[in-house]
C-alpha cells in the first residue's frame, strides 16, 4: 500500500456495503508473556520483576499473581488452534526475557528457546505470522537487583538478549518489536511505583526511559545487522491530549502531558532529540546528565515501522492554586515535573478500567504521527477494552466490546483514507488474562478464560472479529 491515499484508492476502500481495508492489511491479536503463560518455575525460567512485585503483599489486587495465568505455557497448541479458527493472520506475542536469559546475561537457556521455537512453529503450521515483542515488562529480577533500567548497563544487556533471541528464532520470525510501552516501564515502574518494580523515584524514571530507548536502539542495530531483511520496530502507547478549555493554563497543561506521554518518546526515536520544552519542564527533576554523546543517534536508529497502542484520550486542565489534584488512575507521580496538572473526566462512556471511550482520538494520534514525524509504516499493535463479561448458557455476548472495536476500526479506516500509512491492526487481547496491578479482575479478551478450569469461550467479539478478517473490512452501519 502506498503511503498516501488517492481519491481513486479511497473509492476502493469505501463501498456501499461497508468499509474495505487495503489488500494485505494485517489482522491480528496481541498478548504478553507474563499475562498468559504461567509456568513461572518451569523450563529454567527465573524470576522477573513482575513475579517479585505480584508476590509482594499489597501490590496487586487480591494478591493475584501470574504463576498460572492462562496456562498458555502448557496449552499453547490449543490456543494456536483457536487463533486459526478465529481466522487470525498474525499473532503478536512477547518473549519472556527470564525464560531466555534467567540472569539477564550469559548464554541462552535452551529450554526457554525450545518453548518459543515450538510456539512459533505451531503458528506457522496454522498460517499465522508471528510478531515477536522482545520486552513486555518482565525484566529478570537479577538485572533489577543490579539497578534495573535506571542503570545504563541494562540497555547493553537487552541488546545481547535480543541478539540471542533472533539467533534462535530468526529463521522463523521476520517481524520484531523491541519494547512495549516504555512510558509504562519507566513512569509506572520507577515513578509512581504502581507497576513492577514498584519504585517511586522520578529521577530514576527519567533515566529508565532513556536507557529503555537506548536499549531499543542497540537492539535494533543488532537485529538489523544479523538480518537486514527483517522488520524491526518499537511500540509506544500514545494518547490524544486535549485541554479542558481554550485558556492558556489549560493549553499549557495539555502541552505538558502530550510532551511526557507522546513526544518524550517519539522525538528521540524518530528525530534523535528530546523535545526542548519537556527538558525544561523536567529541569527540577534531572539535568539529563545521563545522556551521553552519541546516545540519541543510537536511539534514532532507523526502523521498519512504528507500533502504536491506543486506548483513550487525556483531557487535562491547569492546576488550581491551593487545591490538590484528585488522584488519577496512573497516579500523579507518573508525570514528573507536571504533577499538579489535573486530569478531567467528561462524563462520556467508559470501559471497566474507567478509561473514556474516544475513537476519534485514534484518528488524531495516527494523523499527528504521520504529519509530524518521518514517513514510516504504522501498525496498531494494541487496541481494546475491558468490560464486565458474564457467561450465560455457555456464551459471552460482549456487545460493548464489539461496539468499541467497530468504532476504533472505523477510525483506522478514516485515517487510512486521509493518507496515513496504517498497515495493520492487532486487537488487545486474544485472551482474558492477568491485568497487571488489577490481577484477574479486568477482562480485555475476545476469548473468555475461566481461570479455575482454564476453559476458553470465544465471545461475541471474537466471532465478530472473525467476520471482519474474512471480509477485510466492516459491514455498513
Find the mean pLDDT for residues 274-297: 98
- 330 vs 264, more confident: 264
pLDDT at position 15 = 56
pTM of structure: 0.96
Q: Which residues, 6+ apart, have CB-to-CB distance to 205 below 8 Å?
A: 150, 186, 187, 189, 190, 191, 336
CB 138 within 8 A of CB 96: yes
Residue 218: pLDDT band with limits 50, 70, 90: very high
Residue 385: pLDDT band with limits 50, 70, 90: very high
Question: Shortest CA distance to 268 belongs to which of 294, 296, 295?
Answer: 296
* 230-285 per-position pLDDT tens digit: 999 999 999 999 999 999 999 999 999 999 999 999 999 999 999 999 999 999 99
Which cell is 215 given?
Answer: 536499549
**What count of Cα atoms within 13 Å lies in the side-chain half-sphere of residue 388?**
3
CB 466 within 8 A of CB 87: yes
* 135-179 per-position pLDDT tens digit: 999 999 999 999 999 999 999 999 999 999 999 999 999 999 999
User: Residue 42 above 80 pLDDT?
Assistant: yes
pLDDT at position 10 = 45
pLDDT at position 324 = 73
* 423-474 per-position pLDDT tens digit: 999 999 999 999 999 999 999 999 999 999 999 999 999 999 999 999 999 9
pLDDT, mean over the chain: 95
User: Residue 4 above 90 pLDDT?
Assistant: no
Q: How many whole angstroms separate alpha carbon 326 and alpha carbon 435?
A: 24
Which residues are tagged catalytic? 181, 382
- What single-letter DSSP state applies at residue 61? G
DSSP 173-231: --EEEEEE-HHIIIIIIIII-SSTT----HHHHHHHHHHHHHHHHHHHHHHHHH-TTSE
pLDDT at position 388 = 98
Amino acid at each position: 500500500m502506498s503511503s498516501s491515499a488517492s481519491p481513486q484508492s479511497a473509492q476502493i476502500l469505501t463501498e456501499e456495503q461497508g468499509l474495505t481495508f487495503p489488500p494485505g492489511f494485517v489482522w491480528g491479536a496481541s498478548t504478553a508473556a507474563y499475562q498468559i503463560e504461567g509456568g513461572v518455575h518451569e523450563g529454567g525460567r527465573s524470576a522477573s520483576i513482575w513475579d517479585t512485585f505480584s508476590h509482594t503483599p499489597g501490590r496487586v489486587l487480591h494478591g493475584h499473581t501470574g504463576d498460572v495465568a492462562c496456562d498458555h505455557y502448557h496449552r499453547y497448541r490449543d490456543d494456536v488452534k483457536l487463533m486459526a479458527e478465529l481466522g487470525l493472520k498474525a499473532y503478536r506475542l512477547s518473549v519472556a526475557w527470564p525464560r531466555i536469559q534467567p540472569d539477564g546475561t550469559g548464554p541462552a537457556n535452551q529450554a526457554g528457546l525450545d518453548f518459543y521455537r515450538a510456539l512459533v512453529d505451531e503458528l506457522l503450521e496454522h498460517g499465522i505470522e508471528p510478531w515477536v515483542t522482545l520486552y513486555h515488562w518482565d525484566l529478570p529480577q537479577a538485572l533489577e537487583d543490579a539497578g534495573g533500567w535506571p542503570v545504563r548497563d541494562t540497555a547493553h544487556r537487552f541488546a545481547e538478549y535480543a541478539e540471542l533471541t533472533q539467533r534462535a528464532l530468526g529463521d522463523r520470525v521476520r517481524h520484531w518489536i523491541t519494547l512495549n510501552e516504555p512510558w509504562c516501564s519507566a513512569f509506572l515502574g520507577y515513578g509512581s511505583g504502581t507497576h513492577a518494580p514498584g519504585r517511586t523515584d522520578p529521577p530514576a524514571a527519567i533515566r529508565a526511559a532513556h536507557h529503555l530507548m537506548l536499549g531499543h536502539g542497540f537492539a535494533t542495530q543488532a537485529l538489523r545487522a544479523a538480518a537486514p531483511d527483517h522488520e524491526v520496530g518499537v511500540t509506544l502507547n500514545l494518547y490524544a491530549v486535549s485541554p479542558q478549555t481554550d485558556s492558556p493554563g489549560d493549553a499549557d497543561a495539555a502541552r505538558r502531558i502530550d510532551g511526557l506521554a507522546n513526544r518524550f518518546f517519539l522525538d528521540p526515536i524518530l528525530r534523535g532529540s528530546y523535545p526542548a520544552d519537556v527538558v525544561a519542564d523536567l529541569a527540577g527533576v534531572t539535568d539529563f546528565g545521563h545522556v551521553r554523546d552519541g546516545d540519541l543517534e543510537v536511539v534514532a536508529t532507523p526502523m521498519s515501522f512504528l507500533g502504536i497502542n491506543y486506548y483513550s484520550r487525556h483531557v487535562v486542565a491547569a492546576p488550581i492554586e491551593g487545591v490538590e489534584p484528585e488522584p488519577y488512575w496512573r497516579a500523579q507521580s507518573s508525570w514528573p515535573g507536571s504533577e499538579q496538572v489535573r486530569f478531567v473526566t467528561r462524563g462520556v462512556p467508559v470501559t471497566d478500567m474507567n478509561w473514556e471511550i474516544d475513537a476519534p482520538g485514534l484518528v488524531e494520534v495516527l494523523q499527528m504521527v504521520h504529519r509530524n514525524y518521518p514517513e514510516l509504516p504504522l501498525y496498531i499493535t494494541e487496541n481494546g477494552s475491558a468490560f464486565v463479561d458474564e457467561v450465560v448458557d455457555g456464551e459471552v455476548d460482549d456487545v460493548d466490546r464489539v461496539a468499541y472495536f467497530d468504532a476504533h476500526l472505523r477510525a483506522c479506516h478514516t485515517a487510512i483514507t486521509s493518507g496515513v500509512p496504517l498497515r495493520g491492526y492487532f486487537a488487545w487481547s486474544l485472551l482474558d488474562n492477568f491485568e497487571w496491578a488489577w490481577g484477574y479482575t479486568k477482562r480485555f479478551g475476545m476469548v473468555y478464560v475461566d481461570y479455575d478450569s482454564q476453559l476458553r469461550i470465544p465471545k461475541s467479539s471474537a466471532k465478530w472479529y472473525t467476520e471482519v478478517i474474512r471480509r477485510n473490512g466492516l459491514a455498513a452501519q
